[in-house]
A and B are shown apart, each in its own frame.
Chain A
Amino acid sequence: MTTSPDPTSLETRFSRGEKTALPQMYRTYSGPMFATAFHLLGDRELAAEAVQRALVQAWQAAATFDPTHALRPWLYAITRRAAVDVYRRERRTAHQVSLDDTHDHDATLSIEGPTLDQVWQTWQVREALDKLHPDERAVLQLAYYDGYSQSEIAEILTTALGTIKSRTARAQRRLAALLTHLRTTPDSDPTEPDDTRPTSRSAHDGGERRR
């Protein structure tokens, strides 16, 4: 016996090409899509291009989407494929440059890239962060990414240290609850293994911390 998909779900509305589905899809998934593409490509503009390609392709293929399935792994697979396409084009361009020059411009492409698991985890962590309150996200970003101490965060946000500590603890608890599976066993990529992923460049080339 099969169950009918919920006619109001994003999946159903998307598969029917309903215009209200696109902005909702963008609001829900553009963050994880961008994080995934950025992790693979290490460049904001290239990542934006990959997300644009992925969302346009997804929308144009909406009629082929089975609304009894989740949109999330499908979009993840399309995003990864779009990033691979952008990466390959960039690699071809870089290779052409290196052939025209005595210097090895391709040397930057020899750095090992993220694993498929890491890329899928990036999607999940970003998705969870997008569900936090902006204040909670802010303290986690200042603590983990920017490397500030709780006292420094209190100063930056002109907020009492006790408030920052409790806000951080609450954000950590909420994040942990959203990502319990990542704390235990490796969480495999939800899509088929794909050896076409970019493996020779990572976001570490393009991302810079703010301090």
Chain B
Amino acid sequence: MRGSSDPTDRDDPSSQEEPGREPSRVEDLLRHPAVWAEVPDDLEQRILAELAEPPDAAPS
């Protein structure tokens, strides 16, 4: 996954923390797409539109 082929380029952020420390669950999650997933731009408008509908408005 890493793009650097230079073995001297050991500047992985995790290497800046305490030596010998196990990778934390936080670090695992930081590699997971879910924590970075962007909320769709139109979602708030979709929610507001649904809430503005009359309660008895049935979807067609």
Footprint of B on A, CB under 8 Å?
A: 22-23, 26, 30-31, 34-36, 38-39, 44, 47-48, 51-52, 55-56, 59, 118, 121-122, 125-126, 129, 139-141, 143-145, 147-152, 161, 165, 168-169, 172, 175-176, 179, 182-183, 203-204, 206-209, 211
A150–B29 CB distance below 8 A: no
Q: Given that A26-B47, A149-B2 are contacting pairs, would A122 and B32 also be in contact in the complex, using a CB cutoff of 8 Å?
A: yes
Q: Given that A30-B44, A52-B43, A152-B4 are contacting pairs, would A129 and B51 also be in contact in the complex, using a CB cutoff of 8 Å?
A: no
Q: How many residues of B contact A (CB 8 A)?
A: 33
Q: Count contacts between A and B, CB distance < 8 Å.
A: 125
CB distance from B3 to the nearest CB of A (A): 6
Q: Given that A144-B30, A209-B1 are contacting pairs, would A150 and B13 also be in contact in the complex, using a CB cutoff of 8 Å?
A: yes
Footprint of A on B, CB under 8 Å?
A: 1-4, 6, 9, 11-13, 16-17, 24-27, 29-37, 39-40, 43-44, 46-48, 50-51
Contacts of A204 in B (CB 8 A): 33
Question: Which of chain B's residues has its CB closest to A140's CB?
Answer: B30
Interface of A: prevailing SS: helix
CB distance from B19 to the nearest CB of A (A): 15
